[in-house]
Amino acid sequence: MRKRAPKRGRPRTGHDPMVGVRLPRKMLKKIAKVADALSADRSTAIRSILEAGLDSGMVIGLLRSGKGRGRTGEIAMAIMAQFKASKAAEHAKRAAPAKRPQAEIKALRAAEDAVDRLSSIGDRLALKQAHKPSKSEPPWIEPKPPAPSVEPVPKPTNLVVRKHPRPIQKRKLSEAEVQEIVERAISRSEEKR
Residues 32 and 88 in one domain: no
Domain-embedded: residue 7: no
Q: Is the dihedral of CA 181, 187, 191, 193 positive or negative?
A: positive
In three-state secondary structure terms, 113 is helix
Domain-embedded: residue 1: no
Neighbouring residues of 184: CB distance < 8 A, sequence distance ≥ 6: 119, 123
Better pLDDT: 156 or 45: 45
| Residue 85 domain boundaries | 68-138+161-193
Residues 26 and 121 in one domain: no
Neighbouring residues of 85: CB distance < 8 A, sequence distance ≥ 6: 107, 110, 111, 113, 114
Residues 51 and 72 in one domain: no
Residues 74 and 49 in one domain: no
In three-state secondary structure terms, 93 is helix
- The whole-angstrom separation of Cα 148 and Cα 17 is 94
* pLDDT one-digit tens code per residue, 89-115: 888 888 888 888 888 898 898 889 888
* pLDDT one-digit tens code per residue, 13-28: 777 788 888 889 999 9
Residues 101 and 169 in one domain: yes
- The whole-angstrom separation of Cα 185 and Cα 175 is 15
Closest to 188 (Cα-Cα) out of 42, 17, 57, 67: 67
pLDDT band with cut points at 50, 70 and 90 for residue 157: low
Q: Which amino acid is residue 5, in one-letter code? A: A
- Are the C-beta atoms of residues 63 and 52 closer than 8 Å to each other? no
Q: What average pLDDT does the chain have?
A: 77
pLDDT band with cut points at 50, 70 and 90 for residue 136: low
Residues 184 and 110 in one domain: yes
Domain-embedded: residue 106: yes
Q: Domains in the chain: how many in total?
A: 2
pLDDT at 140 over 90: no
